Amino acid sequence: MNAIGWLNLRSLNQEGIVFAIAVVLFVAAAIGLPGFIDPNNLVAIVRSVSVLGILALGMAVVIIGRGIDLSAVAIMAMSVAWYLQLLNTGTSDGLAFAYVVAGVLAIGLLNGFLVAYADVPAIFVTLATGSFVFGYVRSQLITQDAVPVPQGHWVELLGGLRFLDIPIEVFVFAGLAFLFFLFLRYTKWGRYIYFAGDNPVAARNIGIPVRPMLVLRYVLSAFVALIAGLLTASSLHSINTRVVNSTLLYDIVLVAVIGGIGLSGGRGGVRNVLVGAALIGILLNAMTIIDIPLLYQNLIKAAILLGAIIVDGIINPRDEQTAQQGDI
């Protein structure tokens, strides 16, 4: 009986379970919490998870390929902070943006190179580069924790854009999700990511460029982080670098893992990110309405993340190749 129960648990569709929980939670909140189904609150829920979802898209691509990127939040915050600092000190927009894009791509390339060619475990590489990016930019390139957007700049104007009274971040998230879906599902490069994540040795043996594709994944994650940072600055009219020390990174991993992206690699997709983002968005909004202290909100999220990792270990068990150096 125990063996049958174990097999049934492994055969469960995590995405379907999480979606069902999100629906139940939404209905319960709509019935029990005043103002939850107010149109403005529903828009706020979607808006709150848009940047988180964008970051989770980049993280998902890395995790599907059997890696992880702990530098995403540092790249998001510090690249945009540097960009705004350059603008505030008189650097032309085009030159400032070129500097920042080059820096972001360089960090993505460095992450990918060290993981793919130096065989350093991704968790250590990205933790180190994230710490370096935060420390170097904060000490050498910017003068304060919160860097404002120059008045009248396109980033400020971007934050005020709405279509059908829906903020622009929601449409950017939807557009990126669609592009990532097309990339993963219908391009050979997307299929290579799944092959390499599922069995990197076999993928290399059949001629798939596993190492260059690994570098590409970290470059994509870094560039997506820049986009998320620009959207954050556009909505807040500034970027606060202290977000690097917040729980945002854990929220990103939570969205990806709870939605069904397998940490063992080769499994998951954009739909899993959307499901995970929906559940977390509803949960965070409900806890805010109930007025649960932030400390306990973080405790609840940590427990959910731990549970999701345990479930992922059961549904997507790690094999001998997953445990090799260079993987998570």
- Mean pLDDT for the stretch of residues 172-184: 94
Q: Which residues pair with 162 in a beta bridge?
A: 167
Dig out the tokens for 28 from the structure: 């319960």
Structural domain contains residue 6: no
Percent of the chain with pLDDT over 70: 92
For the beta carbon of residue 149, count every other beta carbon within 10 angstroms.
Answer: 24
Q: Tell me the pairing of strands 162-163 and 238-240.
A: unpaired
pLDDT at 266: 79
What integer best gives the mean pLDDT of the chain? 86
pTM over 0.85: yes
Structural domain contains residue 221: yes
Q: CA-CA distance, 221 to 223, in Å (whole number)?
A: 6
Per-residue pLDDT for 134 more than 90? yes
Burial environment of residue 317 by CB neighbours within 10 A (0 to 12, 13 to 18, 19 or more): exposed
Residue 21: which pLDDT band, with cuts at 50, 70 and 90?
confident
Structural domain contains residue 45: yes
Structural domain contains residue 5: no
Q: Which of 79, 81, 236 is nearest to 144 (CA)?
A: 81
pLDDT digits (tens, 9 = 90+) for 255-303: 888 888 877 777 888 999 999 898 888 888 888 888 888 888 888 888 8
- Domain tally for the chain? 1
Structural domain contains residue 265: yes
Structural domain contains residue 327: no
Q: CA-CA distance, 65 to 197, in Å (whole number)?
A: 4
Q: Which residues pair with 327 in a beta bridge?
A: 325
pLDDT at 166: 84
Question: In CATH, what number is assigned to the domain containing residue 168?
Answer: 1.10.3470
pLDDT at 315: 67
Segments forming the whole domain that contains residue 166: 14-315
DSSP character string of 165-205:
TEEHHHHHHHHHHHHHHHHHHHSHHHHHHHHHHH-HHHHHH
Dig out the tokens for 40 from the structure: 């403005």
Mean pLDDT is lowest, of 98-107, 117-126, 200-209, for: 200-209
Structural domain contains residue 325: no
Q: Which residue has the higher pLDDT, 129 or 279?
A: 129
pLDDT at 319: 55
